[in-house]
Amino acid sequence: MNVSSSYWYPISFLISGILLISGTLLNTNLSILAAVIMFLIWDIAFIRTADNFTGRNANFTIQQVVQARSYISYFIPFYGLLVGLLFTAETEKRVFFLELCSKAKIPVLLLFTPFCLASIVILLFPLRVSEDVEGVRLTPAIQTLMISNFFIEKCVVFIFSHCIIRLLVAWIVS
């Protein structure tokens, strides 16, 4: 599988969309598992394709990791707001939200999985790995850091989208 081909990206986005829709229509969370497996295969294939790292240096790759961390960090304030609203809401509104999660078959643990994954990236992945030295080869450690960061970013966005869509559908139907 050549993940650098121009066909792979639109196909993977199409599959992700189909999994989001099918998870909602079938009222199942198994689409998350399928998406995570697809993202894992995608990233393993990406890192094993040497052409994908041609022309990259360590500094550029680290900049991409920092940029991905920034995108993932946007989820942290959203979850802070959600938790704040839940804890300060009246009992009836908290019960309504938990019942909505139950109707949507979204366990609260799954709802907060993107927060946990984003926190792991923010807390445990280094910001600066090394100084950029001209001619230094991109190391497998930096490549792995990049791929794991991108993998978690895709998982966070997919799981978050899945939960929000399922909750919205359950709210509209109820």
Distance, C-alpha 90 to centroid of its chain:
31
Q: What is the pTM of this model?
A: 0.85
Decide if 87 is inside a domain.
Answer: yes
Is 132 within a domain? yes
111-126, pLDDT tens digit by residue?
Answer: 989 999 988 888 876 6
Counted domains in the chain: 1
Residue 51 DSSP code? G
Domain around 13: 8-173
2, part of any domain: no
What is the C-alpha separation between 70 and 45, in angstroms, rounded?
25
Residue type, 143: Q
Q: What percent of the chain has pLDDT over 90?
A: 40
Q: Is 156 left (phi over 0), alpha (psi -120 to 50) or beta?
A: alpha
**Nearest residue to 167 (alpha-carbon basis) of 116, 97, 83:** 97
